[in-house]
Structure formats: C-alpha cells, structure tokens
Amino acid sequence: MFSAMFAHPNIENLTNSFEIQDVEPNVFQAILRFIYTGHVSSTVVEDLTAPLMAVADKYLLDQLKKD
C-alpha cells in the first residue's frame, strides 16, 4: 500500500516530509503519543474524543477506540 506512494517522484520524496491536512496538530500529537506509548491521558480523551475517534478510524487504530 505505502510502497506505491513512494514509487513516483513527488514533493514528499524530495523533501522527506509530508503534510497531513485533515488532522489538527494537537490530535496528531495525541495519536503519536498513543502509538509510541500505548496511552492517551484522560484529559486529552475528554477534550478530543470525536477527533481522536475519527483519526483512530482513519488509521485503523482499533486499540485506541477500545481504551
């Protein structure tokens, strides 16, 4: 799946970066914290429940939806 994204030259390949436009930075930070630690603080969950669940659905993070 991801190999097709990197097979053709594009701006992401040239700059080693990419922009995720449909996720707010604070939500993405919480997602990264979950991916690396397996935990999200209860405060973050309370404040960002809907956006976190939307991103969990998008990126198939079923474990986050269970916590």
Q: Which residue has the tokens 């449909």?
A: 22
pLDDT of residue 9: 62
Backbone angles phi, psi at 38, to 5 degrees: 85, 10
Three-state secondary structure call for residue 12: helix
Cβ atoms 65, 56 nearer than 8 A: yes
pLDDT at 8 over 90: no
pLDDT of residue 31: 92
pTM for the full predicted model: 0.69
The Cα 23–Cα 63 span in angstroms is: 19
pLDDT at 13 over 70: no
